[in-house]
Amino acid sequence: MTLSEYSQLKQYIVFSVGTNERHSLILSSLKELFRDAINSVRRFEQINTIGQLLKVLEIRDLLSEDNVECLKSIALKLPNPKEVIQKITDYEHSHVPRVYGNYYATSSSQNVKREPPEEESFITSCPVTNTLSKRKKQRIFDTIIEEIGSFWRDLGRNLKIRESKIDEIDFQNTTLAVKAKALMDTFESRADPQRWFFVLCDALEKCRRKDLARSIQDIMAMNI
């Protein structure tokens, strides 16, 4: 199961803000913009990434699958917001609000709900720009290596690494951490340099490690 379009949109926003060289200033400006909505000095001070801000906005019911208007305000803080706003607008046009959904009416007029082609998803259509620092990428990989544990095999399969290669890594290495590192080295050597981050997040979601997917999204939003 791939990420929902809503999750992909949030991931796109996190990446767009996190990879901007003015990330810290943008985040500070956004916190001030939503200060009243945050409505807590303690929570305000604890927000250090755009991902954390989005979570608070969801808690405050300013952001949801059916209401992404506040994401446009976030996009407008970026130096070149046009492409980001277009992504948000495309989502709004294609999204069917859950509250208005009628299963019986839908099924009577359309037997099978058509999913958008994979190539149109945010994961495959949004490139990773060259502004990503080596330190940030290494932090992302190190986090996965340290925390993936026994899920490394499932991760490898969802990264489309051949079973024979996974068996080879398993046979040649002893500890889980070393196996995970060998897996990530293999993935890095074969991955599309423009889309590896989104492929990695999707694979983590598929192997039931949403916590790790969120962790690396938070790292992507850090100013490092």
Q: What is 53-101 written as a DSSP string? A: HHHHHHHTTS-BTTB-HHHHHHHTTSSS-HHHHHHHHHHHHH---GGG-
Number of domains in the chain: 2
Domain limits for position 10: 5-94
Residues 209 and 151 in one domain: yes
Residues 20, 84 share a domain: yes
Q: Is residue 105 part of a domain?
A: no
- Between 122 and 21, the more confident residue is 21
Query: What is the rounded distance in angstroms from the CA atom of residue 168 to the CA atom of residue 37?
Result: 52
Residues 47-97 have pLDDT tens digits of 888 888 998 898 888 898 888 989 988 989 888 888 888 989 888 888 876
| Alpha carbons 90 and 84: distance in angstroms, whole number | 10
Q: Give the domain CATH number at 216.
A: 1.10.533.10
| Reported pTM | 0.50
Domain-located, residue 108: no
Q: At which of 38, 70, 94 does a domain end?
A: 94
Question: Is 72 in the same domain as 141?
Answer: no
Tell whether 11 and 75 lie within a shared domain. Answer: yes
Q: How many angstroms separate the CA atoms of 9 and 65, rounded?
A: 10
